[in-house]
């Protein structure tokens, strides 16, 4: 049925190898269950494979098989809550096996390649449109212990940044709203569709503040901005179009920048580290 690329799942480590080995059988299982016919080459991201298919009535769709963890497990729940408004439509799913049957979009056309003005208008609109209440079943952001992480890595991030982000992050988390948000909204995950010109895919849902979600839209396409001025202009545009509280967005952006700075150091992601360090310095309260 499918041949999984040899390097798929490397980011997940050895614990994912048994799951990876089951993917061909899972694809066969769900094509049979949902009466699907393969209709294109297998695609993959970091934690999921996606097979273009046609349903029994001939309509195109995709079968997504995803690694289940705390970030991915609630994707079907979030897609159901958003009801296809600005997001890919969920047609069927199996929570036990991480199988999702989704509306087919054009994976070759994303906001990553659109003019930045259009990309900001669409994602700013999504920040506004996706603002629905989150039930108690959705996980909430738990502030990490940044000081301990920084110490464990040899203190690569200035202590003043870490202390401020730790204190600020705890306060933000305690007072955060109960809004369903996508903590990983970025330009590559908004694809061209038929129902709407652009539709979001692959959410990582949380219950919290919409302002929590700004930073991926700053570090993605970072190289296109004119230094600190460009960062501030993009941030202001997103807050305006997304109808966000600018001060709360600034605080969340700083905290997430410091957190991601440490993650980049740990993972030796030098290019991304440069961008999140710049964001942390620009938006430090």
Catalytic positions = 184
Residue 274: half-sphere exposure toward Cβ, Cα within 13 Å: 6
Which of 200, 234, 240 is CA-nearest to residue 218?
234
Backbone angles phi, psi at 174, to 5 degrees: -65, -30
CB of 1 closer than 8 Å to CB of 24: yes
Task: List Cα–Cα distances, 265 to 72, 158, 271, in angstroms.
Answer: 24, 13, 10
Query: What's the token pair of residue 181?
Result: 């948000």
Task: List Cα–Cα distances, 18 to 1, 51, 141, 164, 269, in angstroms.
Answer: 18, 20, 29, 41, 27
């Amino acid at each position: 049925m499918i041949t999984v690329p040899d390097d798929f799942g490397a980011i997940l480590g050895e614990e994912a190898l048994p799951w990876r080995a089951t993917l061909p059988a899972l694809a066969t299982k769900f094509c049979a269950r949902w009466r699907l016919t393969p209709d294109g080459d297998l695609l993959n991201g970091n934690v999921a494979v996606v097979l273009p298919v046609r349903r029994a009535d001939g309509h195109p769709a995709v079968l997504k098989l995803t690694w289940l963890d705390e970030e991915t497990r609630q994707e079907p729940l979030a897609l159901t809550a958003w009801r296809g408004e600005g997001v890919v439509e969920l047609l069927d799913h199996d929570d036990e096996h991480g199988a999702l049957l989704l509306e087919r979009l054009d994976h070759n056309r994303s906001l990553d390649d659109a003019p930045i003005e259009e990309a900001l208008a669409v994602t700013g609109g999504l920040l506004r449109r996706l603002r629905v209440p989150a039930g108690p079943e959705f996980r909430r952001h738990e502030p990490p212990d940044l000081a301990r992480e920084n110490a464990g890595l040899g203190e690569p991030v200035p202590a003043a940044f870490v202390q401020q982000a730790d204190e600020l992050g705890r306060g933000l988390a305690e007072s955060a709203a109960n809004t369903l948000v996508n903590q990983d909204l970025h330009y590559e995950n908004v694809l061209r569709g038929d129902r709407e010109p652009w539709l979001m895919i692959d959410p990582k849902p949380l219950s919290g503040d919409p302002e929590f979600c700004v930073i991926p839209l700053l570090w993605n396409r970072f190289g296109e901005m004119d230094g600190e001025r460009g960062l501030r202009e993009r941030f202001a545009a997103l807050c305006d179009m997304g109808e966000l509280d600018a001060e709360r967005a600034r605080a969340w952006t700083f905290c997430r920048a410091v957190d991601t700075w440490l993650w980049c150091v740990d993972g030796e992601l030098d290019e991304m580290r440069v961008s999140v360090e710049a964001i942390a310095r620009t938006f430090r309260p």
